[in-house]
Amino acid sequence: MNFTQAMNQPEILLVDDTPEHIETAVMMLRESNFKVRIATKGSTAFKLIEQHPPDLILLDVYMPEMDGFDICRILKTESDFNYIPIIFLTSSNDAESIKKGFELGAQDYVVKPFNTSELLARVHTHIKLKKQTESLLKSNQELDSFCYTVAHDLKAPLLSLRKLTEYLALDYSTLLDNDGLELIDTIQQKSQEVVKLVDHLLELSRMSEMPMNIEPINLEQLFRKVYDELINLEPPRNVNLRINYIPFIQGDPVMIKLLVINILSNALKYTRIRKDACIDISSSENETEYIISVRDNGAGFDMRYASRLFSVFQRLHSQNEFEGSGVGLAIVQKILKRHHGLAWMTGKVDEGATFYFSLPKT
């Protein structure tokens, strides 16, 4: 084996205290060109992981000092190493133990005494999945970086174009006929639309890298404040905003405000067709999460196309009907993903829509 091959060898951390199991597993794994490190108790395992994170952990359930379930729980919920796949090694085929392992975040399990072919197959599968996931994450990061760069580089010339048309309208308006003035007005409108689109793309790109500052947020107060800001930008109209109790949540205040802005902007936009617009905001909860709903009596949408709603540039209404970039809900979804929440919508054409989002309690 040359140096490059040695450097690319996947590394397994075997956490087990039974000598015969260690000997069997180590011999089998090394014969299959895996690097193997051994820990016979939890504290040693954590030290080895801190020194050099392995590609996969084979974890015995029954261990001295700290059992495999506790080790798994700490790795998956209280450390920076929750991305490392874990395969439990258990002498029990008990359904409850297996279920508990999966609930704690383990990727797989093998019953001891293990079949070497089965164990190898599972190890290969989960290391391959880990590499594919890492490759996908890297590609997504590169795509976000590319989108940010392109959007950032586009903004300066677009702003210049908009400014030039303003100068043209001011300096040459007396020399142009109505058609010429209309063309300048159209250029100004379209350049403004593109600048807004670029701004939304920049926001979308920043969501992946933006550091998070988690703190308690009065979500009800935030909805009212954002609504007051947005309604002042609207032409005079009759909108009935009703907010039932909404709890405090934990989140990044900058991101959550952007989420609320996008949700309420949509509700206001799609209710412009109503003489008497209604926006109802309420909440519910279960053991683990809060669920917030924002219902309006606006244009609604066809549920057959609901899967498109959170994709970039996907719109269910034409630009002539309602303005927009088709990026807002993609931003909302990315914000919720970073907060470990979900977003979904229901609606009916010409009867309105309801936007739902969930956020964990802790």
126 domain residue, yes or no: no
CATH number for the domain harbouring residue 86: 3.40.50.2300
134 domain residue, yes or no: no
Instruction: Tell whether 239 and 345 lie within a shared domain.
Output: yes
Instruction: Tell whether 30 and 49 lie within a shared domain.
Output: yes
132 domain residue, yes or no: no
Looking up tokens 């989420």 gives 259
357 domain residue, yes or no: yes
Instruction: Tell whether 295 and 360 lie within a shared domain.
Output: yes
Instruction: Tell whether 231 and 170 lie within a shared domain.
Output: no
Which pLDDT does position 175 carry in this prediction?
82
Looking up tokens 């001891």 gives 112
Q: Are 294 and 349 in contact (CB under 8 A)?
A: no
Instruction: Tell whether 91 and 164 lie within a shared domain.
Output: no
- Check residues 146 and 362 and name the one with the higher pLDDT: 362
Q: Which backbone phi and psi does 338 adopt, to 5 degrees?
A: -70, -20
Residue range of the domain that includes 110? 3-114
Residue 331: is it exposed, middle or buried by C-beta count within 10 angstroms (0-12/13-18/19+)? buried
User: Residue 33: which of 127, 106, 107 has the closest Cα?
Assistant: 127
Alpha-carbon gap, residue 266 to 178, rounded angstroms:
34
| 32 has a pLDDT exceeding 70 | yes
Instruction: Tell whether 184 and 110 lie within a shared domain.
Output: no
Alpha-carbon gap, residue 331 to 255, rounded angstroms:
9
Task: Please tell me the total count of domains within the chain.
Answer: 3
What is the rounded average pLDDT for all residues in the chain?
A: 84
Instruction: Tell whether 294 and 339 lie within a shared domain.
Output: yes
Percent of the chain residues topping a pLDDT of 70: 86
| 7 has a pLDDT exceeding 70 | no
Q: Which of 114, 130, 153 is at the close of a domain?
A: 114
119 domain residue, yes or no: no
Instruction: Tell whether 218 and 182 lie within a shared domain.
Output: no
What is the mean pLDDT of the segment spanning 203-224?
84
| 2 has a pLDDT exceeding 50 | no
Instruction: Tell whether 108 and 216 lie within a shared domain.
Output: no
Instruction: Tell whether 306 and 336 lie within a shared domain.
Output: yes
131 domain residue, yes or no: no
Residues in CB range of 118: below 8 A, 6 or more apart: 110
Identity of the highest mean pLDDT range in 42-46, 199-203, 210-214, 311-315: 42-46
User: Residue 202: which of 144, 157, 280 has the closest Cα?
Assistant: 144
The greatest distance separating any two alpha carbons of the chain, rounded to the nearest whole angstrom, comes to 94
Q: Which of 192, 209, 226 is at the close of a domain?
A: 209
CATH number for the domain harbouring residue 350: 3.30.565.10
251 domain residue, yes or no: yes
Q: Are 205 and 151 in contact (CB under 8 A)?
A: yes
328 domain residue, yes or no: yes
The pLDDT tens digits for 245-276 are 999 999 998 889 989 988 998 899 889 889 89
